[in-house]
Amino acid sequence: MTIHIAALGDSHFSEHRRFEECVRVHDWMANDFANREVDFVLCAGDVYEAKSTPLEREAVSSWLAKVANRAPVMLVRGNHDALYDIQIFSRLRVRYPITIEERAANHFLVNDETDARIIVSCLSWPRKADILAAGLDSKNAYQSIVNVLRGLGDREEPNRPRILLAHAMVNGAKTSTGQTLTGCDFEIALNDLLLAKTDIVVLGHIHKSQDWAVGDVPVVYTGSPLRQNYGETEEKSYTLIEIDEDKRVTWQRIPTPATRMLLLEGSWGLDEGKACWTRYPFPVDIEVKGAETRLRYEVDADRRAEAKTAAQIVRDRLLEAGAVDCKVEEVVKSVAKARIAAVASARTVDEKLVEYWRERGTLPAEARKAALLAKVHELENEIQQKD
């Protein structure tokens, strides 16, 4: 028989950030698991964004109940999950067990209906306290993790498919922005993952889905099933794994209906003395329909009012083009030093005022300038008479 396994990670349930989107995407996955008749569901950590709230626990419990009424669930703790915060899920009254691992151990999972059986070697996000409790060397965390992986692989089960499910930082993994991560805490080399002697490695922690082949063993980051911030432009998915009776492993990414998030950046300033967008934030060829958008623009401190009006016009255009919302973020640049230098170099009050207007890009017409300077002279004379 062929065993079907759904794997996901980095859900990051948070009532303070895109909560409705998170619930919607997870409900879609629960229905998709059922339609595909998966035998097991594996969660690679970071269920929560931070220590859970009652609303978040209710949402996760509701989702897990839907999933575990159709298939056994295995879940490991991620670095965002508070210790013991996910243990309550093992007590949910559901058809199949929800198994929680907060440290490291092998777990035998059975689907009674399909008679599918697998071994899941679990490694949660390492904690120095766990390393000490295990009597291992806290000063050499990496070697301690290697020893744990080797220990997981000591149990030989040649006839049963084995999966390593870990929340871990792998050397060379890339973030959504394309940055390659090295030198991070608790970083694991790809080859060391093979010490667990499994047929496939399933990882959580990095939101960008990516994979490697280490010999004959696939190593797969599931990625997050929804976008957590505006830097995550890649397609979102969960991982569907199939293992046949000869323990041959195939897998694919199943795209989720995650809402797109677009960051549009611009600059407001002067071009040949005229106030305008020096970098327009809304390219004409960009597709914004159905996307959450953020408009971020830079502006000098003394041009904020006009930039705010211009940004509102762009925001309205984005919404008219089909964006589901648009958050506007102003990045103010201080111009105090530049203005002081320009004004300070002028010798008379007239010259200082003209330099000030020029800095602001508001130099008036000659008649208006003459009238304003005459008024300044009147004020100067009044001050001198009072003195």
Mean pLDDT of 160-186: 83
Residue 137: its pLDDT value, please? 58
* Domain formed by 3-255, architecture: 4-Layer Sandwich (3.60)
Residue count of the chain, please give it.
Answer: 387
C-alpha span between 221 and 211 (Å, rounded): 6
Q: Using one digit for the tens of pLDDT, what is the confidence trace for 309-320?
A: 999 999 999 999
256's tokens: 């989720």
Window from 65-79, 90-104, 187-201, 372-386 with minimum mean pLDDT: 372-386
Measure the CA–CA gap between 366 and 372, rounded to whole angstroms: 10
Distances (CA, A) of 92 to 13, 46, 61, 101: 18, 19, 8, 16
pLDDT at position 306:
95
Residue 13: is its pLDDT beyond 90?
A: yes
**The pLDDT value given to residue 187:** 84
Going by their DSSP bridges, the two strands 104-111 and 116-123 should be labelled as antiparallel
Q: Could you report the per-residue pLDDT of 243-296, keeping only the tens digit for each?
A: 999 999 999 999 999 999 999 999 999 998 899 999 999 988 889 999 999 999
What pLDDT does residue 371 have?
82
Alpha carbons within 13 angstroms on the beta-carbon side of residue 83 total 6
- d(CA 92, CA 143) in angstroms, rounded, equals 36
Inform me whether the pLDDT recorded for 338 exceeds 60: no
Which of the 8 DSSP states describes residue 208? S
Q: Report how far residue 109's alpha carbon sits from residue 118's, in angstroms, rounded to the nearest whole number.
A: 5
Amino acid at 231: G
Instruction: Look at residue 13 and give its three-state secondary structure.
Output: strand
* Tokens 């200082």, residue located: 352
Where would I find the beta strands (DSSP E) of 224-311? Answer: 237-243, 249-255, 261-271, 274-279, 292-300
Domain ranges within the chain, ordered by starting residue:
3-255, 261-333, 336-386
CB-CB neighbours of 59 under 10 Å? 22
Per residue in 349-363, pLDDT (tens digit) is 777 788 777 777 777
Look at residue 130 in the predicted model and tell me its pLDDT.
65
What is the mean predicted confidence (pLDDT) over 163-190? 83
Q: What is the DSSP code (8-state) at residue 366?
A: H
Q: pLDDT for 203-234, tens place per residue? A: 999 999 999 999 999 999 999 999 999 989 89
Task: Give me the amino acid identity at 217.
Answer: V
Residue 106 to residues 103, 171, 188: CA-CA distances in angstroms?
10, 24, 19
Helices (H) and strands (E) in the chain, counts: 8, 18
| 201 torsion bin: left (phi>0), alpha (psi -120 to 50), beta (else) | beta
Closest by CA to 210, choosing from 227, 224, 228, is 224
